[in-house]
């Protein structure tokens, strides 16, 4: 019986390191400056952490839809996701 391990490529490592850095930065930011709930264009009152979670979920769906519906470069979906996160964190 052989075990098969996940292939840790550079993009995979960069992805997980980036998520860890974002969570670390958000934790420090929350400690230094506690957040208050506010309403933006989302139909609910959210905190910074809520908007980050919603943004990460939205980015995952953007990438899944992109891979499933187009043959174009995944880097275009990455650009769309970055813009989505910036808009959501600022005005969401």
The pLDDT score that the predictor gives to residue 2 is 65
- Local confidence pLDDT in tens for the 92 residues of the chain: 566 776 778 877 888 899 999 999 999 999 999 988 999 898 999 999 999 999 999 999 999 999 999 999 988 999 999 999 999 999 98
pTM of the model: 0.79
Question: Of 18, 13, 77, which is closest to residue 52 (Cα–Cα)?
Answer: 18
Task: Count other C-beta atoms under 10 Å from residue 51's C-beta.
Answer: 20
CA dihedral (28, 32, 35, 41) positive or negative: negative
> Closest by alpha carbon to 16, among 8, 6, 25, 26?
8
């Amino acid at each position: 019986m052989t075990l098969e391990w996940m292939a840790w490529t550079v993009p995979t490592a960069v992805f997980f390191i980036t998520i860890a850095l974002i969570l670390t930065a958000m934790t420090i930011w929350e400690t230094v400056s506690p957040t208050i709930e506010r309403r933006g264009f989302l139909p609910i009152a959210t905190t910074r952490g809520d908007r980050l979670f919603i943004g990460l979920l939205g980015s995952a769906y953007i990438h899944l839809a992109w891979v499933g519906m187009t043959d174009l470069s995944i880097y275009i979906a990455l650009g769309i996701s970055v813009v989505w996160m910036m808009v959501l964190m600022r005005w969401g």
